[in-house]
Amino acid sequence: MKAKREALHSLFTAMREDKVDGDIIGLLLLINSIKGVYTTSSCSGRIGIIEEPALGAKPLSRWLVKVHRPIEFGEARESLRKAERGLIFLKSQPPIFHVVAEDLQKAKMLHELGLASGFKYTTFKVISNRYLVEINATEYLTVPLGRDGEILVSEDYLRFAIDVGNSMLKRSKGRLSRLEENFRRLREELGEDELFHEMVEKFEIGKNWRLP
Angle 20-184-194 from CA coordinates, rounded to 5°: 75
Spatial strand order of the sheet with 37-39 comes to: 37-39, 96-101, 130-136, 123-127
**Domain map (residue ranges) of the chain:** 2-207
Q: How many CB atoms lie within 10 A of CB 121?
A: 15
Q: What is the pLDDT of residue 166?
A: 98
CA distance 167 to 141: 11
pTM of the model: 0.92
Q: What is the pLDDT of residue 146?
A: 97
Spatial strand order of the sheet with 87-93 comes to: 62-67, 46-52, 87-93, 141-147, 150-151
**CATH code that applies to domain 2-207:** 3.30.1960.10
H/E element, 66: strand 62-67
Q: Which among 18, 17, 167, 182 is positioned nearest to 97, based on CA atoms? A: 182
Q: Which among 115, 107, 166 is positioned nearest to 136, based on CA atoms? A: 115
How confident is the chain (212 residues) per 10-residue block, as mean pLDDT? 92 95 96 97 96 81 96 96 95 97 95 97 88 96 96 97 98 97 98 96 93 92
CA distance 6 to 15: 14
